[in-house]
């Protein structure tokens, strides 16, 4: 008779061992192994061994078919009620898909999904499963959001699909029998599955997957085994009855999605909702998407009564109207979305043995590299200066196309110069001081022109002179960083060497 076996499961990566270790040998996390007792009997069906298979009759029915003969169903996407969310999803929710939404606590995941569920409920059946909050709490929030929507409606004269949907919802609040949004406050997986089967909704929101628990497992809610089991059970039912599932997932202290990596493999899309605690805007990104591109960006703003879409985010990341010394404007691209962003640099004489270099919104290594290039190729003695760099609006700019902007901001601060107003800088710096071409230059120039910029410094050989002329944009092409800075600043920053 088989004995119950004890295994140790890592709570951060899901790896299993038969022995306890203080540190997971697979992902290196400390103190993450938790004991788990597996049931004695192994009910899994064993696969026939190869010898058996070859002995079987040769005329077994074939299960595979040529890929060209596989029938296609047109992909019918459901609009989420928010253009920004649809964009990140790749054009809307796909029936039968699983979407995991991760984010820090209090960032607005529940708010986003409740607003979206309400908007979708006007067109299809939606079930909102609240495992974290009571029905009363969700109802209170829902009412607040509906009130906020009616205010927005009054202000803006009825713009956008979502506020209208919410106003209709408020009207329905008086006649609740017609409401399309069903609410279930439950943490037991079995009851949630039963409700999903009974209702067969087109969309279901599970808030959150970590709060659900499967009574058959002994481990605590939120543990790896629970999260994996709950997600797998939900995935099976979603695929079977074509329900689009939106799962909320927690983020650990380190910023990883809590629960095992297997959860990310199980779902079709992983979205992260991030933002600054101190700023009101929130960024929605796709980390993985089986039905669309990743690195798309959706921008929302947290208002007093719910989240509002920001359709013109560049204005959010542009600083003051008045140009000042040490600021430069770049055009960053997030997916297919160009964003005009202001950078600020502060360069001052250091009083430390090794100068301080601090960057917010840009990698410090990138800043070090750009400072080294400026020192070497422009002869600026920057190693005797502290350098601070900040991206306006709390945005993270990862792409190298921001390099030229960083260099210009640093040099402008060092020389106490102000860049001529209406200038954007786009280009990657090579270690040899050359300016490298960047992708999607056309989109970037169009966005800059749309926001009223009149000069753009870009790498040589863009071939976009005609486009720029059409956009009323003065295109300054440069082959190297020195040439680009002379073009941008109008003076040679290397002239009077300190």
For ligand TYD, the binding residues in 281-340 under the rule CB under 6 A are: 302, 304-306
For ligand TYD, the binding residues in 143-162 under the rule CB under 6 A are: 144
> How many CB atoms are located within 10 Å of the residue 390 CB?
19
Residue 19 CB, nearest approach to ligand TYD (Å): 37
**Does residue 106 belong to the site contacting ligand TYD (CB under 6 A)?**
yes
The footprint of Mg ion (CB under 5 A) covers: 110
Residue 454 CB, nearest approach to ligand TYD (Å): 38
**Does residue 115 belong to the site contacting ligand TYD (CB under 6 A)?**
no
Helix (H, G, I), strand (E, B) or coil at 478: strand
Degrees, nearest 5: CA angle 386-341-383: 15
User: Residue 260 binds what, of Mg ion, ligand TYD, none (CB under 5 to 8 Å, by partner type)?
Assistant: none
Does residue 148 contact residue 155 with C-beta atoms inside 8 Å?
no
For ligand TYD, the binding residues in 126-145 under the rule CB under 6 A are: 141, 144
In this complex, which beta carbon is closest to ligand TYD, that of residue 302 or of residue 325?
A: 302
In this complex, which beta carbon is closest to ligand TYD, that of residue 277 or of residue 497?
A: 277
In this complex, which beta carbon is closest to Mg ion, that of residue 106 or of residue 304?
A: 106
Binding mask 23-42 for ligand TYD (x = CB under 6 A): --------------------
In this complex, which beta carbon is closest to Mg ion, that of residue 133 or of residue 153?
A: 133
Q: What is the largest CA-CA distance in the chain?
A: 89
Residue 270 CB, nearest approach to ligand TYD (Å): 15
User: Residue 305 binds what, of ligand TYD, Mg ion, none (CB under 5 to 8 Å, by partner type)?
Assistant: ligand TYD
Residue 310 CB, nearest approach to ligand TYD (Å): 15
User: Residue 337 binds what, of Mg ion, ligand TYD, none (CB under 5 to 8 Å, by partner type)?
Assistant: none
**Does residue 239 belong to the site contacting ligand TYD (CB under 6 A)?**
no
Q: What distance in Å separates the CA atoms of residue 362 and residue 372, rounded to the nearest whole number?
A: 16
Helix (H, G, I), strand (E, B) or coil at 18: coil
The CA distances from residue 429 to 223, 273, 405, 475, in Å, are 46, 31, 10, 18
> How many CB atoms are located within 10 Å of the residue 479 CB?
13
Residue 140 CB, nearest approach to ligand TYD (Å): 9
Cis amide leading into 469 (omega within 30): no
Among 89, 100, 107, 367, binds ligand TYD (CB under 6 A): 107
Beta-bridge partner residues of 349:
385
Question: Which residues have a Cβ under 8 Å from the Cβ of 332 and sit 6 or more positions away?
Answer: 338, 339, 341, 395, 397, 399, 401, 402
Residue 129 CB, nearest approach to Mg ion (Å): 12
User: Residue 108 binds what, of ligand TYD, Mg ion, none (CB under 5 to 8 Å, by partner type)?
Assistant: ligand TYD
Does residue 383 contact residue 347 with C-beta atoms inside 8 Å?
no
Q: What are phi and psi of 96, to 5 degrees?
A: 80, 5
**Does residue 209 belong to the site contacting ligand TYD (CB under 6 A)?**
no
Degrees, nearest 5: CA angle 361-432-368: 30
Q: What are phi and psi of 329, to 5 degrees?
A: -115, 135
User: Residue 302 binds what, of Mg ion, ligand TYD, none (CB under 5 to 8 Å, by partner type)?
Assistant: ligand TYD
Q: What distance in Å separates the CA atoms of residue 399 and residue 332, rounded to the nearest whole number?
A: 7
Residue 248 CB, nearest approach to ligand TYD (Å): 7
Among 58, 66, 71, 105, binds ligand TYD (CB under 6 A): 105
Residue 114 CB, nearest approach to ligand TYD (Å): 8
**Does residue 110 belong to the site contacting ligand TYD (CB under 6 A)?**
yes
Q: What is the edge-to-edge ordering of all strands in the sheet holding 455-459?
A: 357-360, 385-391, 337-349, 327-334, 423-425, 455-459, 474-478
In this complex, which beta carbon is closest to ligand TYD, that of residue 129 or of residue 478?
A: 129
Q: Which 8-state DSSP code applies to residue 394? A: G
Interface residues with ligand TYD (CB under 6 A)?
Answer: 103, 105-111, 141, 144, 302, 304-306
């Amino acid at each position: 008779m088989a004995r119950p076996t004890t295994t140790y499961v890592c709570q951060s990566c899901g790896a299993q061992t038969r022995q306890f270790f203080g540190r997971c040998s697979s992902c290196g996390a400390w103190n993450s192994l938790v004991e788990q007792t597996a049931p004695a009997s192994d009910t899994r069906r064993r696969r026939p061994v190869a010898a058996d298979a070859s002995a079987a009759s040769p005329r077994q029915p074939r299960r595979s078919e040529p890929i060209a003969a596989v029938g296609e169903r047109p992909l019918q996407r459901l609009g989420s009620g928010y253009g920004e969310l649809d964009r990140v999803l790749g054009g809307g929710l796909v029936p039968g898909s699983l979407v995991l939404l991760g984010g820090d606590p209090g960032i607005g995941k529940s708010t986003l999904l409740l607003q979206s569920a309400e908007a979708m409920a006007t067109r299809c059946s939606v079930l909102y499963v609240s495992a974290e909050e009571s029905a009363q709490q969700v109802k209170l929030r829902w009412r607040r959001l509906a009130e906020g929507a009616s205010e927005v409606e009054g202000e803006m004269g009825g713009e956008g699909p979502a506020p209208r949907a919410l106003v209709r919802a408020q009207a329905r609040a008086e006649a609740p029998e017609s409401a399309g949004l069903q609410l279930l406050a439950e943490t037991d997986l079995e009851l949630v599955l039963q409700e999903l089967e009974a209702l067969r909704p087109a969309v279901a929101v599970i808030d959150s997957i970590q709060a659900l628990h499967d009574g058959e497992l002994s481990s605590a809610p939120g543990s790896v085994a629970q999260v994996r089991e709950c997600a797998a059970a939900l995935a099976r039912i979603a695929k079977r009855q074509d329900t689009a599932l939106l799962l909320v997932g927690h983020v650990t202290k380190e910023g990883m999605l809590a629960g095992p990596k297997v959860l990310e493999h199980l779902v079709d899309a992983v979205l992260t909702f991030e933002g600054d605690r101190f700023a009101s805007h929130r960024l929605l990104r796709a980390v993985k998407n089986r039905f669309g591109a990743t690195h798309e960006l959706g921008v929302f703003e947290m208002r007093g009564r719910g989240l509002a879409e920001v359709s013109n985010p560049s204005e959010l990341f542009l600083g003051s109207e008045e140009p000042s010394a040490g600021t430069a404007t770049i055009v960053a691209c997030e997916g297919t979305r160009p964003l005009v962003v202001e950078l600020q640099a502060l360069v001052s004489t250091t009083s430390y043995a090794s100068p301080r270099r601090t960057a917010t919104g840009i990698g410090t290594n990138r800043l070090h590299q750009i400072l080294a290039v400026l020192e070497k190729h422009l002869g600026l003695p920057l190693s005797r200066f502290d350098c601070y760099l900040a991206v306006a609006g709390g945005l993270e700019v990862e792409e190298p196309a921001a390099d030229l902007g960083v260099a210009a901001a640093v040099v402008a601060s060092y020389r106490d110069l102000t860049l001529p107003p209406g200038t954007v800088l786009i280009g990657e710096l090579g270690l040899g001081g050359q300016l490298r071409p960047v992708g999607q230059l056309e989109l970037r120039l169009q966005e800059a022109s749309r926001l009223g910029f009149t000069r753009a410094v870009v790498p040589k050989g863009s071939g976009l002179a005609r486009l720029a002329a059409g956009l009323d944009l003065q295109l300054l092409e440069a082959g190297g960083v020195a040439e680009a800075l002379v073009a941008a600043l109008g003076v040679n920053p290397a002239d009077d060497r300190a």
